[in-house]
Amino acid sequence: MSSVKDHGKAGPSHALKDHRELNQNHFYYHLDESVGAGLPLWLPAGVVIREELEKLMKELEFLAGYQRVVSPHIAKEELYYQSGHLPYYEESMYPSMNLDNVRFRLRPMCCPHHHKIYASQLRSYRDMPLRLAEYGQVYRYEGSGALSGLMRVRGLCQNDAHIYCRRSQVKEEILKVLKMYQEAYRILGISKYHLRLSKWESGESDKSQKYVPFPEKWQWAENVLREVLIESNLPFVEAPGEAAFYGPKIDIQMESIHGKEESASTVQLDFISAERFDLSFINEAGEREHPLIIHRAPLGSHERMVALLIEAYQGALPLWLSPEQIRILPLADRHIEEAEKSRLLLHNSFMRVRVDDRVESLSRKIAEAWQAKVSYVVIIGDQEIAQGCVSVQERGQRKAEKMEASKLRDMLLEKIKRRS
Ligand SMILES: [Zn+2]
């Protein structure tokens, strides 16, 4: 299973729940027959997690020189003939829609849109590498038997980007991408995964029909990826017949709680799309040159990454990812006003906090807070009010600690900022 730092706390594997079971208590998403199989509706708790992940990646990508773009969920069918998704990827695509006698398709990938953004301006070698990023919604057909909660869906939002670069820049750019996903995984506490060099399959097999031809180019691209993996001392396995139709890739493989291997992240080297889209830049000699294209998604899709994370943490997410970070428990009615003041103090610093003011025993309220995987419980009674402080207990710790509410705020803000 996907392992995280404090995974040991979750107990023996037979007690572990998969994300669909965890969802029954924590309400991350909802699947509704009348919306459609594999098309999750994200509930507030799930949206907190995906937005925090998105914030993390936007920061890492900003620091790494990416520029953000936004593109629509559909395009004319002819765009996908140009890209090669038709026919190579057709079995994963939704059927066409007819609008004013023009045929459209829901997009299965963002790449063709991004290629058109690249082509919207004249590019120079000085613009290279050009890194265009988007958390992009895509739609893919999965057989109904394969659908599974958030892990396998028919509509997903990808941590997507395309890097347009020169041949001499390819290795360095792929290395940077590998470093970026390692950094993201470190922050997320994910340590158990392995890398797979996903190659094409040549010859007369059925699988070879899934790929664009040009054996020498496949060979070259696979060698580039292999060299990068060897140079970065990352152990990997090689898998024929697992490439994208436009080029080989490095996939980062994780396991679900049931031991099923899933691709969580990917880096792909595309040697064909620049020619298909006639993408170019002007080189030092004033000539037109095709760029190479790297497709990458360090956090894969929100759907699968959130499923893997909530399984790995069994719902007990770190503070910065936690849908409910703090629950305040007033001991009696007369403490509610003070509890509300503390709530506002934390809320106004953008923390996810609520007051449990039900008439219920303290021990029961605390037990329920831990079951809900809240990160911190704050207790306010006569003693705390007299001393001008609150009692704070962190999930997994035995003892509560007294401190001023403003000190608690500063301490939590610092932890959230460090994503620790
Ligand atoms: Zn792509």
What is the total count of domains within the chain? 2
Burial class (CB in 10 A: 0-12, 13-18, 19+), 233: exposed
Looking at residues 147-176, what average pLDDT do you find?
96
Q: Which residues surround ligand 1, an ion (CB under 5 A)?
A: 109, 111, 295
Q: How far is the CA of 32 from the centre of ligand 1 (A)?
A: 29
Residue 79 domain flag: yes
Q: How far is the CA of 182 from the centre of ligand 1 (A)?
A: 20
Q: How far is the CA of 285 from the centre of ligand 1 (A)?
A: 29
Residue 1 domain flag: no
Q: How far is the CA of 341 from the centre of ligand 1 (A)?
A: 48
On average, the pLDDT of the chain sits at: 93
Q: Which amino acid is at 236?
A: F
Q: How far is the CA of 156 from the centre of ligand 1 (A)?
A: 14
Q: How far is the CA of 220 from the centre of ligand 1 (A)?
A: 19
pLDDT > 60? residue 415: yes
Q: How far is the CA of 278 from the centre of ligand 1 (A)?
A: 16
- My answer on whether 117 and 214 are in the same domain is yes
pLDDT > 80? residue 11: no
Q: How far is the CA of 373 from the centre of ligand 1 (A)?
A: 36
Strand partners of residue 194: 253
Q: How far is the CA of 147 from the centre of ligand 1 (A)?
A: 23
Q: How far is the CA of 72 from the centre of ligand 1 (A)?
A: 15
Residue 75 domain flag: yes
- My answer on whether 259 and 197 are in the same domain is yes
**Final residue belonging to a domain, choices 313, 330, 347:** 313
pLDDT of residue 214: 82
Q: How far is the CA of 20 from the centre of ligand 1 (A)?
A: 29
State the CATH number of the domain containing residue 61: 3.30.930.10
- My answer on whether 174 and 216 are in the same domain is yes
Residue 2 domain flag: no
- My answer on whether 296 and 325 are in the same domain is no
pTM over 0.85? The answer is: yes
pLDDT > 50? residue 1: no
Q: How confident is the model at residue 342 (pLDDT cuts 50, 70, 90)?
A: very high
Looking at residues 295-308, what average pLDDT do you find?
96
Return the percentage of the chain with pLDDT > 90, whole number: 85
pLDDT > 90? residue 257: no
**Boundaries of domain holding 251:** 7-313
Tell how far CA 334 is from the center of its chain: 44
pLDDT > 90? residue 256: no
Token readout for 8 is: 């040991």
Q: How far is the CA of 162 from the centre of ligand 1 (A)?
A: 6
Q: Distances from the Cα of 135 to the Cαs of 110, 161, 298, 324, in angstroms?
A: 9, 8, 11, 24
**Final residue belonging to a domain, choices 281, 313, 345:** 313
In this predicted model, what pLDDT tens digit does every residue of 92-120 receive, in sequence order? Answer: 999 999 999 999 999 999 999 999 999 99
- My answer on whether 177 and 72 are in the same domain is yes
Residue 196 domain flag: yes
Which residue, 148, 186, 175, 198, is CA-closest to 19? 148
- My answer on whether 306 and 342 are in the same domain is no
- My answer on whether 350 and 211 are in the same domain is no
- My answer on whether 14 and 87 are in the same domain is yes
Q: How far is the CA of 244 from the centre of ligand 1 (A)?
A: 9
Q: How confident is the model at residue 156 (pLDDT cuts 50, 70, 90)?
A: very high
- My answer on whether 278 and 359 are in the same domain is no
CA 373 to CA 167: how far, in whole Å? 49
pLDDT > 90? residue 210: no
- My answer on whether 281 and 159 are in the same domain is yes
**Final residue belonging to a domain, choices 295, 313, 331:** 313
Residue 300 domain flag: yes
Looking at residues 263-270, what average pLDDT do you find?
92
- My answer on whether 85 and 224 are in the same domain is yes
In this predicted model, what pLDDT tens digit does every residue of 55-86 receive, in sequence order? Answer: 999 999 999 999 999 999 999 999 999 999 99
Q: How confident is the model at residue 255 (pLDDT cuts 50, 70, 90)?
A: confident
State the CATH number of the domain containing residue 343: 3.40.50.800
Q: How far is the CA of 111 from the centre of ligand 1 (A)?
A: 4
Range ranked top by mean pLDDT from 7-21, 88-102, 191-205, 248-262: 88-102
Residue 405 domain flag: yes
